[in-house]
Each structure stands twice: as C-alpha cells, then as structure tokens.
Amino acid sequence: MSSDVLATLVPQPVSASARPGSLALPAQVGIWRDDGAAAAADLLTIELSRATGLRFAPAAREAAQIVLHSDGDSGEHYRIEIDERRASISGSPAGLIHGVYTLRQLLPAANWRAAPLPGVAWNLPACLIEDRPRFGWRGCMLDTARHFSPKQTILRFVDLLAMHHFNRLHLHLTDDQGWRVEIKAFPKLTEVGSHRANTGLGFAVSATEPHDGTPHGGYYTQDDLREIVAYAAARGIIVMPEIELPGHARALIAAYPEFGCLPDEPVDVGTYFGISRDLVNPLPHTIAALETIFEELLTIFPSPWIHVGGDEAPLERWRDSPAIRAHIASLGLPDAEAMRTWFTAHFAEFLNARGRRLVGWDEIIHYGGLTPSSVIMSWRGEKGGMKAAQEGYDVLMAPVFPTYFDYAQDEGADEPLSIGQSVLLEDVYAYEPSARWPDKASFDKVLGVQCQLWREVILDEAHLEYMAFPRVCALAEVAWSETRDDFAAFRQRLAHHLARLDAYGVNYRPLAGPRPWQQGGAGRKAYQPRFNLKEALANLDQWAESGEPPAEHLAD
C-alpha cells in the first residue's frame, strides 16, 4: 500500500504525514483496547473481519497489531500512528469511531465489500494522522414520508454517512404524503396514514395533474426504529426524528379527522405535493393526543434533539373554524398567529421538561414561544439562522442552496428527474457557512451544517443514491475540515475515493456525468425541474423575512 493513499482521504484530515514502511496485517490480527475504546474495537472487528476474512483476536498490548486507546475526553478528535509493527488509534471515545473509518480508508478499497476477495494484500501505510472536526453537527436529512425508504436502505445509508464522518441522521418521518412511525396508542396512523392510493407525477401540486396510479406506502415498527438507532449509535451517529406540526399533517388527519380543522370533511393521505392547508387543530383533545405521540417517540429515540417541523403552516383553517376561534379566545389570545406561538411554546416546554431540545425549521423564529434550548434549522437561505443566532439560539445551517440535494446535479436532459436546477458538486464544496455572516460573534451559535434529501421526486433507492453522491462527500468536507483544498484538488482526491463507493456498490453520479442507465430518459424519470433555482432563491430570500408561506406555493 503506497503512502499516496494519504492524498485520497475524504474528508481531508487536519494533518497527515507519510513515514517509511508499511504494516502488513497477518491472517490473525491481534487487537488491544482499553475500556473506553470497547465500542470502536467492536466496530473495527465486525467491519473488517467480514470484509477482509482476517481473524481479529484480543492480544497483549505489545504483541497487538492494532491498539485502541481512549483518552476519556469529550469531542471527536483522534490520532492514528502506524509503523511496521502496529497501528495505534487514540482519542476521545467518539473520535475513535472516526479513527476506525479513516483507518479503513487507508486499506485497499476492497475492505468496503461485504465479503473478502482473493489475493488482496491488507497493508497499511506507515503514517501519522491527527484530526478533529470543525463542526459538532454534521448531518443529513432523509425524507421517508414522500417516498418510503425500507429499513435496509436506512442502515445502508448510515454506513455511508459514517464513512464520511457524519454524526447526525435526521429522519423526516411524517408529512402530508405518509406517516412512517408506529404509534401504539393511535394504530390508524399506520393502518391508514402510512399509505396512499397513488403519487403525482413529477412535482404535482394538484389531484388534477397526472398521477402514476400505483399505491405507495410503508412504515417502521418501533423495534425497526430502535434497531436503526442502535446501529447508527455504534457508528457514531445520533438519529433525530421529525414529526411535522402543525402543518404537513394531512396523513395524520386522514387517519384521525378529529385532529384536523374540518372533522366533518375527511381527507385522504396526500397524493400530490406543495403546501397543504390541512393543519392539526390546537384544541385540547388534539394537544393531548400529540403529547401521547411524543411520549412514545421519546421511548424510541434517545436523541437530545426532537424536530417538530413548524414550517409552511398557513393559518386560514384555524381562522375559519368557530371551535378554534372560541378556543383562542378562551386562552385570552388575540388571533391565530398568537395561537401558533402558544402551540410552539407548549411543545418546546413539553420537550424541555423531558430533557429534550425542540428543533424547528426557520419559520419558527418568527413565531416566538421558544425555550432558550430551542434550535433553529435555517433552510430559506441563511437569514433565518442569522436572526436566530443574534437572538441567542443555537442554529443549524441547511440552506436550499447548496444543501438541498433534490435539486439536479447538473443542467441537461441526461439528468434524471429533480425538483429544480441545479446544485453542482462544486457549489456544495464551495459553501462556507460563515462567509455572509454579518456578526462573527453570533456565528459561534452555529452548531453545524446539514444536507437534505427531500423525496417528492426521488422515486427509488438507486435514484436516492444518485442524488446523494458524490455531493455528500463534498458536504462532509465542508462540515469536517477546518481548511480545504481548492475544488480541483478535492476533485482529484474524490476521483480516487469513488473506488471505495464502487466497492460498496453505491449508485453515485460519475464526475463525467450520468451513466446511460442513470439518465432520466423520456419516461417518468425524465429531467423536468419544476423550479428555477435562481428565481427560487430570490423568492426564498424575501420569504425568509416572515414566517408565512407565499400563496403561490399552496397546493390545490
């Protein structure tokens, strides 16, 4: 193994220097670890024994080929030192997990396969690597509501995120088009709300637009989700669930009309997209039901952060309902806007009392009612995040440009279906979260960055991987690396790194463009972006000045 492999690491470490020689791993690899390194040692043993065919067995420290030592600190720093006798990984318990994944990048790409290949020499280059992340939050949002991702897809995605030193998986579990989490107190959420009769073609925003005629659905049992949480935790990733409220709730209301604003006018699970007018009502019986839902959710997800959405919630149904208006008056509130503030405050305090932190999309910074521990996810550009940070809230940067990976990777008829034009790999790599920040002191409130894989038009798992990769690789470096190469140097490193994705079997977009079978063609995956990104960005910048969705974005 040449020391040239140091020049292919993604994300780029703080420092990496080659030394003479290499370490050849024998058929039986001795491994020593202290108590604080147990999780990392178990992960290394499980992953490498499967992929290499080597046997890993406990050994005395001086005789071991691999040594893992925890310094007991917090943080995610690690140090790798390899010579001809052994490979040593030291650092914080969380950092050791990242050290394991960097060690795997130093091995031949075949170690990312699920079974050993014949004739591979498992050698590690002698080197010294010292590394730590720039941001504490390095996340990816996966929308399972619009198009359902089977459990195995989630587990596979966890592996790919861990490969790139991500540490947060944000699962968008509910929306107008589907409810994906089993709630035992309300079984109709999955009996009714987890599936729809068909799906609008492209980004259909009306039932009158063409639909595919194919039923779609699925959900995760609570044990499925506990499995995902445990699998992710072993790989250094915390799973944050999202239950969208009070808007994006049509699937919930289809299952339980009494929680909607028009209980005598039942709705179906959404088959088209856009912003629905169907909100949950803020009446006492609904608040009690939502609390029960959250209580069950908290038993599944130990995440300190619970996402409650809060975005794109037009209030006309609240204003038009006599029962809701009467309830607003009974609380001494002046209007529906004040009721929305009360709604946000109620669940912020509910979660805070249970040791959890409410996370919401940036509209909620305009509503008020937040607790000091609330976190704002800035998606409509960066203004919402700036406003939140200046008011003292922690912030996650997730702006449409360039972190929404449902936009095309390039502009051209060869690309598959996307929601809009286009977020290039170079755009992602060039993103600097602090670049437009007016107040550098408040930038300290930025916890990190996150990419989004919304799935209105990402139709299947191959399409999902195509839209994610290699842009995820670029964002990994934005999130992890304190300093970055220019794009040309990154692209050169990435060209080598793609061999690892090949070994894992990822359906990524090649740097030269889509393969023939990845192209959109002329069928339902044809390239037909609905949104012009430059126009969308201008509208979002204006929209970010308030919490109200534009009327033209409402679905029919």
SS3 434: coil
Which of the residues 76, 131, 143, 175 is marked catalytic? Answer: 175
Question: CA 352 to CA 165: how far, in whole Å?
Answer: 29
Local structure of residue 13 (DSSP, 8 states) = P
Residue 274 and residue 177 in contact, taking contact as beta carbons nearer than 8 Å: no
Calpha distance 90→132 (Å, rounded): 12
In Å, how far from its chain's centre is CA 56?
33
Report the alpha-carbon distance of residue 122 to residue 110 in Å, rounded: 9
Q: Tell me whether residue 312 is one of the annotated catalytic residues.
A: yes
Tell me the three state secondary structure of residue 56.
strand
CA distance 107 to 121: 9
* Four-residue CA torsion sign, 91, 96, 100, 102: negative
Count of C-beta atoms within a 10 Å radius of residue 340: 26
Both tokens of residue 65?
């080929």
List 312, 394, 406, 415, catalytic entry = 312
Pairing verdict, β 123-131 and 78-82: antiparallel
Q: What single-letter amino acid sits at 489?
A: A
Tell me whether residue 34 is one of the annotated catalytic residues: no
Nearest-angstrom CA–CA distance, 380 and 404: 11
| Residue 77 appears among annotated catalytic residues | no
CA torsion angle 430 414 8 107 (round to 10): 140
CA gap 191, 204 in Å, rounded: 25
3 burial (CB, 10 Å; 0-12 / 13-18 / 19+) is: middle
Please name the residues in contact with 141: beta carbons below 8 A apart, sequence gap of 6 or more: 170, 171, 172, 242, 398, 450, 451, 452, 453, 454
All residues at 6 or more sequence positions from 505 whose CB lies less than 8 Å from its CB, including other chains: none
For tokens 């994944």, name the residue. Answer: 101
Contact (CB, 8 A) for 317 and 278: yes
Distances (CA, A) of 283 to 214, 261, 348, 349, 530: 36, 10, 17, 17, 37
Please tell me which residue in 248, 307, 366, 463 is annotated as part of the active site: 248
CA distance 423 to 510: 15
Q: 192 CB contacts (<8 Å, ≥6 apart)?
A: 254, 255, 269
Six-digit token string for 7: 């020049």
Distance in angstroms (rounded) separating the CA atoms of residues 119 and 28 = 16
DSSP code string of 233-262: HTTT-EEEEEEEESSS-HHHHHH-GGGBS-
Catalytically active residues are 175, 248, 312
